Amino acid sequence: MLIRNGLFQGSPPLLSCPEEGEELQLYLVVAEGAVSSVLVREAEGMQRPIYYVCHMLHGLEERYPIIDKFAFALVISARKLKPYFESHPIVVVPDQPLNKILTSPTLSG
């Protein structure tokens, strides 16, 4: 899903290891049937992935409004990436502008 959304071109790059205390970015992607994220670090002017998270939506999760899906993606990512959240500052970057998510009645429920 991350490749389709343009976060990675070509084949997915190898995972890298962050420096202690380094600021990391968490990219959130919400789709119809899944939420995913990738944790990345800046190195030599390029973004290097550290960890990928993907969760298929089932049952009621599929009917969440998009704002809830973003929150759900963040919760899933925070649980799986707890050691990174505890030892690094993290900037969360959604795949859509927040003002679009918050102001669109069809998207926010």
Q: 46-98, pLDDT tens digit by residue?
A: 889 999 999 999 999 999 998 899 999 999 999 999 999 999 999 998 877 66
- Can you tell me the distance from the alpha carbon of 39 to that of 84, in angstroms, rounded to the nearest whole number? 9
Burial class (CB in 10 A: 0-12, 13-18, 19+), 37: buried
Q: 36-53, pLDDT tens digit by residue?
A: 999 999 988 888 999 999
Band of the pLDDT at 108, cuts 50, 70, 90?
A: very low
Write down the residue that tokens 């998270």 correspond to: 53
Residue 76 pLDDT: 96
Q: What is the mean pLDDT of residues 15-42?
A: 91
What is the phi-psi region of residue 98: left when phi exceeds 0, alpha when psi lies from -120 to 50, beta otherwise?
alpha
